[in-house]
């Protein structure tokens, strides 16, 4: 089973520390504070008085992976990964994701013709939470959340949550 990050809306204060940690963990170069240069792989959303981060759920059946026409989204080491070299920026994955966790960003690249820089070109790329799979310390957002609203969940954790909810529901009947 794929691990995923669970967000507790009752603990989230909407500070967006997780977004900043995500950008920094993925080596994004922040040239300015403009949103065009700030490409977090998760988004803190606000609905009424509730805030919560939305990120990839690392689905077992991964609709984004199934929808990708180029095979750019794969399952690797129990997580869903986007292969940028195969991504054509078609946005099919964005439409397929039931959580709204897929994004497309524009990557600015140097246009080289005959060994000479000839300007810039823009390439659309799909990005999403990859649970910081290459970081031995785990997801940066989980580590930096000041209220501990985020947690990395696996099958054992899900079983514990289910058992607790079952016990709580029995106790509520009394």
Give 121 or 48, the one with higher predicted confidence.
48
Average pLDDT over residues 35-43: 78
CB crowding 19-53: b at 16 or more within 10 Å, else e: bbbbbebbebeeeeeeeeebbbbbbbeeeeeebbb
- Residue 56's domain comprises 4-173
Cα(149)–Cα(141) distance, integer angstroms: 10
The pair of three-digit structure tokens given for residue 162, joined into one six-digit string? 């289910």
Per-residue model confidence (pLDDT) at position 35: 62
pLDDT in tens, 127-170: 999 999 989 999 999 999 999 999 999 989 989 989 999 999 99
CATH number for the domain harbouring residue 136: 3.30.70.20
**Domain count of the chain?**
1
Give the H or E element holding residue 25: helix 17-25
What is the average pLDDT score of the chain?
Answer: 89
Average pLDDT over residues 55-66: 95
Does pLDDT of 55 surpass 90?
A: yes
| Mean pLDDT of the 70-91 span | 93
| For residue 100, pLDDT beyond 90 | yes
């Amino acid at each position: 089973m794929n691990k995923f990050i669970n967000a507790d809306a009752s603990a989230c204060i909407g500070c967006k520390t997780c977004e900043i940690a995500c950008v920094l963990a993925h080596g994004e170069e922040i040239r300015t504070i403009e949103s065009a240069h700030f490409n977090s792989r998760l988004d803190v959303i606000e609905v009424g008085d509730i805030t919560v981060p939305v990120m990839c759920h690392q689905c077992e059946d991964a609709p984004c992976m199934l929808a990708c026409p180029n095979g750019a989204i794969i399952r690797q080491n129990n997580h869903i990964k986007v292969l940028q070299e195969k991504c054509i920026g078609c946005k099919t994955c964005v439409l397929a994701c039931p959580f709204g966790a897929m994004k497309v960003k524009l990557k600015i690249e140097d246009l080289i013709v005959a060994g000479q820089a000839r300007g810039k070109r823009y390439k659309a790329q799909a990005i999403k939470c990859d649970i910081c799979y290459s970081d031995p310390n785990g997801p940066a957002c989980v580590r930096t959340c000041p209220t501990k609203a985020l947690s990395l969940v696996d099958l054992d954790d899900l079983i514990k949550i289910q058992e607790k909810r079952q016990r709580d529901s029995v106790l509520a009947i009394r």
